[in-house]
Structure formats: C-alpha cells, structure tokens
Amino acid sequence: MQLLDGVKVSEEILKEIQSEVAARVQNNKKVPHLAAILVGEDPASQTYVASKVKTCDFLGFKSTLSRLAPDTTEAELLALIETYNADSDIDGILVQLPLPKHISEDKVINTIHPEKDVDGFHPNSIGKMVLGQDTFIPATPNGIMMMLQHYGIDTVGKHCVVIGRSNIVGTPMSLLMSRNTNPGNCTVTLTHSKTKNLKELCLEADIIVAAIGRPKYVTADMVKEGAIIVDVGINRIEDATKKSGFRLVGDVDFDTVKEKASYITPVPGGVGKMTICALMQNTLKACKD
Ligand code: NDP
C-alpha cells in the first residue's frame, strides 16, 4: 500500500506557486488577492478559512477576511459580494460554506462574478467544466485530480465509484473522472443515499472516491484487493484523549481498508491539503496580468 500524501504533494505545489508569485513581484506584476467571507461561528468553517488565509500569507498572496455575524442578512452578504466584484484589486472571492439557513447558497454563488469564482461553484464554471472548457474547477475534485496525477496513477479504463453526489464534491468528481483526460477516462458510477447495492458496486471498483460525511463508512469488506481509495470525508468524532475532545476521521475505515488498498489517502493529511492547494491555483489563475 502506498499512502497518497497530501501534505507532501501540496507542499511541493505550494512552493511552485510561491515561486511564481515571487517572479510576479520581481516583474512588477499584480499579486493575487483572495477575499474570503465567513458568516457565523461554525468551528470547522473557522478552521478552514483560517488555514486558507494562512496559506495566502505563505504564498505571498494578498488576502482579505470578512467575518460576518451569524444574523447577517442575505441582502448584506450579496451587497458585500457585489463590492468585491467591483473591486479590481480582488481576484478571487470565496464564501465559506455552509451558510446559515436564512441565506440562499444558490443566490450567493450566482452573485459571485464568474471571473472571480475561484471555488468553481458558479453555474458558468460548472457548465464550462461539463463541456471540457477552460474554467475554475471546484477545488476538492481538482485537488484529487492533481494528487492522482502527481503519483502517476493510470486511471484509463478503470471503474471509479464515487460515493456522494454533492455539487461541490461528488458530482464534479464524477464528471472529471469520466472525461477524456488522464487522470480521467474512467467508467464512472455515481452513487448516493438511495443507491441500493453500494457494497456490490464498491467491490467492483478499481477506484473509490468517498464523499459522504459519515465516519468510517467504507469498510474493508466493501473494497476489492488493490483498489485505489480517495477519502474526502472530514468528520469530527469524540476523543477524550485529545485536548480538543475530538479528532478527525474520514469516510473510510482507514486502518482496515489500507490492508487491501494499493493507494489510499489519509485523513487528515490527504484530500484536505490538496483542496487548499487547488484553491490557491485557481486564485493565481484569476489574477490577470
Ligand atoms: P453532502 O452532505 O453535501 O453530500 C453527501 C453525499 O453523500 C450526498 O450525495 C448523500 O446522498 C451521500 N450519502 C449520504 N449517506 C450515504 C450513504 N449511506 N450511502 C451512499 N451515499 C450517501 O457532503 P459534501 O459532499 O459537502 O461532503 C462530504 C464529506 O466530505 C464531508 O465529510 C465533508 O466534511 C467532506 N469535505 C471535505 C473536503 C476536503 O477538502 N477534504 C471538502 C468538502 C467536503 P443524497 O444526495 O442522496 O443525500
């Protein structure tokens, strides 16, 4: 079994981006500027946003973090996004999801200017991705593609089972893996909570991408010998031995599944690191000359 090490791979890619930014500075070119918006006080969201801002600092990007109160109205949030849309210094806009229930995520995503849509969630970006046109690809699936490419994993003709069909992970992942690219060129089965024979499908899979949000859901008896396992899940489970009182586990039962897998991503230190990397790449791409 080989570990797909998101820490190592993301460090390498981030260093490359850092060098590109340094070269831009030397050539008096604009430095990428990411505006992040966090509504409310969800602890996981706070951690994710903090880590994105920290990565911007490391790369030499500019960043602006707006922390908005949980009772911020939808109109107030949309107005802030419009301000950022109009600000020529800001290249990328990121609104941390999930949002409080009184705010429509669709409206928020649709308000971000497609040229600043570094999360790749805008209908323009998704539409272009489906058509194989150049665009911002959602960070988590794109990060996974970068990881597979980095390890030179040949996916052509393989059967890939994606578990979960969210707009931000499962659905774009299934599209990317089915495209005529490498990584890609898989025969893809997209599964969800209404799928009846998940275990049988998984047992036929050469590649499993688990994006469910259920701790350790994919167990060794669901996995074929030699399968490639990509674990997107980030779940907090209680752990009295930790100072925080919890620890993070994925959607895959890592300790047992690793005995059968040819490659596997750990949690933490796998897909999460690659997601930030892909977001930073999108922000660099958004920064026009
Ligand atoms: P969502 O809750 O939006 O989607 C979960 C999907 O899993 C749904 O499509 C749901 O089906 C499906 N599902 C739920 N239960 C089952 C089941 N028993 N069998 C098969 N499918 C099931 O989650 P996200 O896609 O946003 O996130 C998934 C996980 O990935 C979470 O743990 C999240 O924290 C993590 N994540 C990690 C990221 C990273 O950078 N590593 C980035 C984003 C998310 P249905 O549609 O029928 O409800």
Sketch out the chain's domains with CATH numbers.
Answer: 28-113 (3.40.50.10860), 139-272 (3.40.50.720)
Ligand 1 atom closest to 44 (CA): 34
Mean pLDDT of the 224-250 span: 96
pTM of model > 0.75: yes
Round to whole Å and give the CA distance between 275 and 130.
20
The full length of the chain comes to 289
Q: Given phi > 0 = left and psi -120 to 50 = alpha, else beta, which region is 223?
A: beta
Told to judge if 206 belongs to the known catalytic residues of this protein, a careful annotator would answer: no
Helix (H) or strand (E) holding 248: strand 246-249
Query: CB count, 10 Å around CB of 195?
Result: 16
Round to whole Å and give the CA distance between 248 and 172.
24
Residue 164 CA, ligand 1 centroid: distance in Å: 5
DSSP assignment letter at 116: G
SS3 156: coil
For 144-178, write each residue's pLDDT tens digit: 999 999 999 999 999 999 999 999 999 999 999 99
217 CB contacts (<8 Å, ≥6 apart)?
163, 210, 233, 251, 252, 253
Type of residue found at 82: E
pLDDT band for position 288 (50/70/90)?
A: confident
Instruction: Check pLDDT > 80 for residue 237.
Output: yes
Catalytic residue chosen out of the listed positions 91, 117, 119, 253: 119
170 lines ligand 1 (CB under 6 A): yes
101 CB contacts (<8 Å, ≥6 apart)?
none
Mean pLDDT of the 83-91 span: 98
The residue among 98, 130, 125, 100 whose CA lies nearest residue 112 is 125
Mutate to test the pocket of ligand 1, among 105, 109, 145, 166 (most ligand atoms within 8 A of CB): 166
Rg of the Cα atoms in the chain? 19
Told to judge if 42 belongs to the known catalytic residues of this protein, a careful annotator would answer: no
Helix (H) or strand (E) holding 93: strand 92-95
